[in-house]
Structures are given as C-alpha cells and as structure tokens.
Amino acid sequence: MKNKFYHLIGNLLTFFGLMSVDLIGINLINLGAGPYDYIIIPLSIISSIWIVVLVSEYLGIFTMKDVSINWQDIKRTLKWFLLSILATSLGAIILYFEGGNTTNNQVSLTESFSSVSVFTIFLLTAIAAPVMEELIIRGFLIKKCFNFSKVGVLVSSIIFGMLHHPTSLGEFTTYFGMGLVLGIYYKKTERIELVILLHGIHNFIGAFAFVF
C-alpha cells in the first residue's frame, strides 16, 4: 500500500512538472511582438519541447530511434482525422444550441496570436502543442499511469477537455471528443508519433485558417 501511494505521488508530481513546462512554453506568446517574437519566444518554446521529449524518453514513453512514419501511417492517420472532425462537430452543434459560436479557448488564442508572427503561431500550434500535449496527456497518462486501459483513455480525455478552459457543455464536448479520438488512436496503435501527427494535422489546419 505504501509503495502504491509513493508511486501515485511520483506520477502526480511528474505530470504536474511536465504540464508546467508545457504551459510556460505556450504562455510565452503573451510577451507579444518585437524582439521576443523572433528570438526569445521560439527558442523558449523549442526548449520546452526538448525538455518534455527528453523526460518522456527517460520515462520510457517512447524512444527517438524507434520513431518512424510511412505512407500507410499517414493514410491511416488521415482517416482518424476525419473521425476527430466528427467528434468536435458534436461539440460545435451543442455550442450552437447554447447560443455560442466559438470556444473560450479559441477566443483567447485569437487574442494572443494577434500580436505574434506567423512563424510563432505555426511553431506553437502545429508542433509544440501536439508534441508536448500528446507526450504528457496521452503518453504519460495512458501508457505510464494506466497501461493503455480504457480508464486511462477516459481520464486523459477529461483532463484534455478541462485544460482547454471550457465554459459550457458544448466547449467541453468539443475538446473531450477530440481527446477521446486521440486517446483511442493511441490505445489502438501504441505509437505516440502517430497521435502527435493526428493532433498536428488538426492544429495546422486551424492555424492555417486563422492566418489566411
């Protein structure tokens, strides 16, 4: 019992430590435009990614030398991308009937992105967020804490939904649905690089729509 308690505390501390690195990197965009935007912010974001990657590899979530993606992987991931669109569409429908037209998280991102470069926007949304969030929320929680169980998929999806600061059922359903698709995909493949790719495609299209 004592060992299980210490193991739980260790997992919680590791999770919150990794999330702190993730949030620090992401929130640096609030420094705004200027010299920060082309040097300090990108370097800090890349440093945050590197820390999370190194810790994740140390914990056995994945190994860099085993990461590989072929054309079949891309085609399979694109099919799951369509599922993620369906999942988030359910949240959008609920949000519409609640009288909303966008999520609180999207409003916050729009405000933050208005003062930074296109490079920073894509670095953050299409690379940093998918890599760090998947390694922490899917990789650490589902693999390390719950050993690919259904409970792990559910817990990680709830946490993913709450981390996007929902203020209504529609908003929560949007991100919970996305998290559920990502979690199920990880459980089926046990390949975190494919889940990062799926998340990255989703975010890249969102960033592209915002910028252009």
Q: Which of 170, 14, 22 is nearest to 99 (CA)?
A: 170
End-to-end CA distance of the chain: 55
Mean pLDDT of 164-187: 95
Residue 27 or 20, more confident = 20
The tokens of 179 are what?
A: 């998290």
Q: Count of residues for the chain? A: 212
Asked if 129 and 203 count as a contact pair (C-beta separation under 8 A), the reply is yes
- What is the pTM for the complete model shown? 0.89
Contacting residues for 108 by C-beta, under 8 A, at least 6 apart: 165
Mean pLDDT of 193-206: 96
Mean pLDDT of 8-32: 67
Mean pLDDT of 147-166: 95
Question: Can you give the pLDDT at residue 30?
Answer: 60
- Whether 2 has a pLDDT exceeding 60, the answer reads no
Question: Can you give the pLDDT at residue 24?
Answer: 65
Residue 63 or 13, more confident = 63
* Residue pLDDT, tens place only, 28-86: 666 555 566 667 778 888 888 998 999 999 999 998 888 989 999 999 999 999 999 99
Question: Which amino acid does the sequence have at 36?
Answer: Y
- Composition of the chain by helix, strand, coil, percent to 5: 85, 0, 15
Question: Can you give the pLDDT at residue 120?
Answer: 84
- Residue 13 pLDDT grade (very low, low, confident, very high; cuts 50, 70, 90): confident
The tokens of 16 are what?
A: 């919150």
* Residue pLDDT, tens place only, 99-148: 877 888 888 777 777 777 888 889 989 999 999 999 999 999 999 999 99
Residue 189 or 2, more confident = 189
- Tokens 């430590």 belong to 17
The tokens of 51 are what?
A: 């820390």
- Whether 172 has a pLDDT exceeding 70, the answer reads yes
The tokens of 200 are what?
A: 């990255």
Mean pLDDT of 177-202: 97
